[in-house]
């Protein structure tokens, strides 16, 4: 049986952090395929979700390269913030897409990145928003892309919560 102790032990494994990194990398590559291969233009909410996935990717990369207490703390904080922020953004995106009055449900046109890190200017191929948040251009199994992102970020958030709680409650260490 997969108990809390085994769940908490995952953070000690470089392989588990590698899986976190590569799962997020796969999502980023998929997003680029949707954008450049299928011609789907990302909106500002898509860009924010893409940024959150990059956060999850970074969260897995740091402990995967060097797994110690410091890198695990950085990994856990980055993972938690990115997964939960991404979930909230995806929920907001679905709210925009399903609003009964689209006039009141809109999103920004230019990303609101910090002034010290204008990703949309540095790497516009990945972070420039050219689509409309209200458009539903793609669906799979009746779910739109932001609805799938709710599922994905919910999984990342649940895994984060489970691993962190098992580390703190059972193993009593990060």
List the chain pLDDT tens, one digit each, 174 residues.
356 666 666 777 788 899 999 999 999 999 999 999 998 988 888 989 999 999 999 999 999 999 898 998 899 999 999 999 999 999 998 888 887 665 565 677 777 777 777 777 777 777 777 777 777 787 789 888 899 999 999 999 999 998 888 877 776 665
Tokens of 40: 């789907």
For the chain, domains (ranges, CATH) are 4-171 (1.20.1550.10)
Tokens of 98: 């399903």
Tokens of 163: 């691993």
Q: Clarify whether 43 is annotated catalytic.
A: yes
Q: Clarify whether 50 is annotated catalytic.
A: yes
Supply the pTM of this predicted model. Answer: 0.84
Q: Clarify whether 171 is annotated catalytic.
A: no
Q: Clarify whether 167 is annotated catalytic.
A: no
Q: Which of 6, 133, 167, 171 is catalytic?
A: 133
Phi, psi of 173 (to 5 degrees): -165, 155
Closest to 94 in 3D by CA, of 52, 49, 53, 40: 49
């Amino acid at each position: 049986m997969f108990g809390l102790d085994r769940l908490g032990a995952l953070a000690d494994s470089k392989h588990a952090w590698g899986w976190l990194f590569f799962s997020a990398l796969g999502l980023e590559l998929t997003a680029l395929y949707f954008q450049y291969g299928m011609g789907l233009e990302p909106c500002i909410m898509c860009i924010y979700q893409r940024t959150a996935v990059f956060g999850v990717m970074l969260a897995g990369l740091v402990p995967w390269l060097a797994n110690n207490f410091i890198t695990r703390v950085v990994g856990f904080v980055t993972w938690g913030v990115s997964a939960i922020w991404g979930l909230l953004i995806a929920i907001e995106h679905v709210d925009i897409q399903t609003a009964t009055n689209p006039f009141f449900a809109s999103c920004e046109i230019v990303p609101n990145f910090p002034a010290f890190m204008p990703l949309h200017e540095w790497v516009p191929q990945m972070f420039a928003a050219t689509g409309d948040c209200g458009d539903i251009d793609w669906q799979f199994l009746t779910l739109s892309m932001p609805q799938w992102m709710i599922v994905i970020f919910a999984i990342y958030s649940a895994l984060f919560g489970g691993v962190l709680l098992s580390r703190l409650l059972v193993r009593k260490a990060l």
